[in-house]
Chain A
């Protein structure tokens, strides 16, 4: 059975998908802030969500080589696992149904689907 994702988890996973090979703490946080506008998101909340999703087996992580611009520390990179991708697709399908239903019912009132 596919895991059900919370809204914040969906945002974080979408950020990982969008960033592809460059998904690590700093970039994921920046992308999440962009996706969650106008909501402010702390980096700590992103870390906590990443840890939780990793424990569920939805994402996997690994450490890169240390780099000097980080004071000789490694980055923890993330990517979606198969179960994570399935869960995200399922969430996207649900979101699509919601948008279609809202557009169907409110379309006549001048409502436009968000872009």
Chain B
């Protein structure tokens, strides 16, 4: 018993190593490190050599160039080159550490409350700096009253928004059974791909329409035309890459194909959701700067908050969807061939 205890990594060290390994690879990699444990120094050295490769591999797996370009464009337009340069690598690392499941309702609520709290702090900061610059004016009074009411309303609103996303994800069908045959799996995959094909063609048509609208959207200028180009390319890509029926094969082959389909779909969705909200973000940001610059600070601040809330909504949507996809991939990983 004592020998067994000596042959396991120290708990704290193991916890640190597990924390550093991206969740998608955590179980297998941490298990392999545990299996080859010879001592704390060897364990730490092996982890130190292994983890960077795993992180880079996960970054490559989740690397989504169109989504990254779009995020860079929005960050550059809204916050400038420095912020885009700092935030983009962080976003890439964050993608590698994408959780292997959907966030729990409690965690989701905590995040919503934190975001609301951060927004209220942001409002207060703006208000204080405004009052510091000039005496209380009529606009300033309205700003104070507006902020007083907006702040407390944000928490329930964001929680409600987050709850609706959780409920939506709960209603999505999951791969519940553990024991399937290759035919069962093939049928399920074919259903998934058929649904995807229909939705993709519809979205391609909508993106084509949006390309026309963005081209003519007033006040966006060059970013608007870039967006129109994005929409047109995305529509064309969706049209040309409508998913074909999955290839038949044995259980493992069908399962691996199904997992790749799920992952590809998730990558595509992440880009498309940001693409759909990009015009709103750019318009809100342009208006916020314009109105704040012309002395209507309250309007400007409220628009900035709307933009931040939109970002919160899209990231929450992505987290739910990525979590659902990872859960399905995990379920497929553990699925057994009923006939084997």
Q: A54-B256, A62-B255, A75-B31 are in contact. Are A48 and B334 (CB under 8 A)?
A: no
For the complex, what is the distance from the CA of A70 to the CA of B33, rounded to whole Å? 8
> Which residues of the other chain, A, contact B229 by a CB distance below 8 angstroms?
none
Interface size class of B (residues with CB under 8 A): 35 or more
Question: In the bound complex, do residue A42 and residue B32 qualify as a contact, i.e. CB atoms below 8 Å apart?
Answer: no
**Residues of chain A at interface, number, CB under 8 A:** 30
Question: Which B37-65 residues have a C-beta within 8 angstroms of A?
Answer: 46, 49-54, 56-58, 60-61
Given the contacts A47-B54, A63-B334, A74 and B249 also touching, CB distance less than 8 Å: no
Q: Using Cβ atoms and an 8 Å threshold, which residues of chain A touch B163?
A: none
Beta-carbon contact of B255 and A48 below 8 Å: no
Specify which chain A residues have a CB less than 8 angstroms from the CB of B58 in the assembled complex: 51
Closest-CB distance, A78 to chain B (whole angstroms): 10
Complex contact B46–A43 (CB within 8 A)? yes
> Hey, which chain A residues are within 8 Å of B9, CB to CB?
71
B36 located at the interface, meaning its Cβ lies under 8 Å from any Cβ of chain A in the complex? yes
CB contacts (< 8 Å) of B255 on chain A: these are 60, 62
Which of B22-30, B233-241, B283-291 is the contact stretch?
B22-30
Q: Is B77 interfacial (CB-CB < 8 Å)?
A: no
**In the complex, which of the residues B27, B50, B57, B61 contacts A73, with contact meaning CB atoms closer than 8 Å?**
B27
Instruction: Determine if A73 and B256 form an interchain contact, defined as CB atoms under 8 angstroms apart.
Output: no
Query: Known: A25-B28, A73-B31. Is A63-B333 also a contact (CB below 8 A)?
Result: yes
Secondary structure dominating the interface of B: helix
User: In the complex, are the beta carbons of A45 and B260 less than 8 A apart?
Assistant: no
Question: Known contacts being A54-B256, A57-B260, is A76 close to B36, with CB within 8 Å?
Answer: no
A70 to B26, CA, bound (A): 12
Interface residues of B in 105-130 (CB under 8 A from A): none
On whether the beta carbons of B34 and A44 are closer than 8 Å, the reply is no
Tell me whether A51 and B57 are in contact (CB under 8 A): yes
B14 at the interface (CB under 8 A from A): yes
Q: Given A25-B29, A71-B8, A82-B249, A57–B256 Cβ distance below 8 Å?
A: yes
Docked Cα-Cα span, A82 to B252, in Å, equals: 11
**CB atoms of B256 and A60 under 8 A apart:** yes
**Chain A residues near B30 (CB-CB < 8 A):** 71, 73
Q: Which B residues are in CB contact (< 8 Å) with A62?
A: 252, 255, 333-334
Bound form: Cα–Cα A44–B47 in Å: 9
Check if B253 is an interface residue, CB within 8 A of chain A.
yes
Give B237-258 as 1s and 0s: 1 = Cβ < 8 Å from A's Cβ atoms.
0000000000001001101110
Q: Closest Cβ of chain A: how far from B178's Cβ, in Å?
A: 12
Determine if B46 and A70 form an interchain contact, defined as CB atoms under 8 angstroms apart: no
Residue of A nearest to B252 (CB): A60
Nearest to B335 among chain A residues (CB) is A62
B309-338 contacts to A, CB under 8 A, are 330, 333-334
User: CB-CB < 8 A to B25: which residues of A?
Assistant: 47, 51
Q: Does A61 interact with chain B (Cβ within 8 Å)?
A: yes
If A57-B256, A62-B255 touch, whether A44 touches B31 (CB-CB below 8 Å) is no
Q: Which of B8, B36, B57, B249 contacts A47 (CB 8 A)?
A: B57
Q: In the assembled complex, which residues on chain B have CB atoms less than 8 Å from the CB atom of A24?
A: 28, 32
Given A63-B334, A79-B252, A81-B256: A26 in contact with B57 (beta carbons within 8 A): no
10 of the cross-chain contacts (CB-CB < 8 Å) are A25-B29, A42-B49, A45-B53, A48-B57, A51-B57, A52-B60, A55-B61, A60-B253, A75-B31, A76-B27
A-B contact sample (20 more), CB < 8 A, given A44-B50, A71-B9: A25-B29, A26-B32, A42-B49, A44-B49, A47-B29, A48-B53, A48-B54, A48-B60, A51-B57, A52-B57, A60-B252, A61-B333, A63-B27, A63-B333, A70-B32, A70-B35, A73-B31, A74-B27, A75-B28, A81-B253
Enumerate chain B interface residues (CB-CB to A < 8 A).
Answer: 8-9, 14, 25, 27-32, 34-36, 46, 49-54, 56-58, 60-61, 249, 252-253, 255-257, 260, 330, 333-334
